[in-house]
Amino acid sequence: MNDSTELATRQTRAGVAARENAQSAKPFTRIAPAVDVFEDSHGITLYADLPGVSREKLDVRVQDGSLNIEGEAVIPTPAGLRLQHGEVRHPHFWRAFTLSPDFDVSRIDAQLRDGVLKLTIPRREEAKPRRIEVSVA
């Protein structure tokens, strides 16, 4: 974790953890992953640090103008060893963003590689900046 990592504790029945174990709603630590966002005239590219999160434990959703990223890192304990000290045993990552209607959420591209989620969110054609030709009358 770095200095910008945020921690929160919540009780939930929705999301990745609850889908796997709908019987219990025990509190867990939720980490807001570090995110870098780059914007240009074509759209935005978002990079989220999600160490230890596999594709199966990652949930990226867009609903009502909100982008939600949720995932659970699974940190295996080597065979024959037992955990002596663990600060966050199975960290849950969660981050939400409000998207402008200028972005085309139907064309989001998501890639997960080496613990980094890359989301490319293009602008709608009508929202892209364009140059207006001026004629002399």
- State the pLDDT confidence band at 7, using cuts at 50, 70 and 90: very low
Distances (CA, A) of 3 to 6, 32, 34, 71, 135: 8, 12, 9, 20, 54
Which amino acid, 126? Answer: E
Which CATH code is given to the segment(s) 6-127? 2.60.40.790
For residue range 84-137, what is the model confidence (pLDDT) as tens digits? 887 766 689 999 999 999 999 999 999 999 999 999 999 988 777 778 889 898
The band of 62, judged by pLDDT with boundaries at 50, 70 and 90, is: very high
On whether the CB atoms of residues 57 and 16 are closer than 8 A, the answer is: yes
- Where do the DSSP E strands lie in 74-135? 92-98, 109-113, 116-122
Report d(CA 97, CA 4) in Å as an integer: 17
Q: What is the pTM of this model?
A: 0.71
- Distance in angstroms (rounded) separating the CA atoms of residues 20 and 33: 22
Per-residue pLDDT tens digits for 10-45: 444 455 544 555 445 555 678 899 999 999 989 999
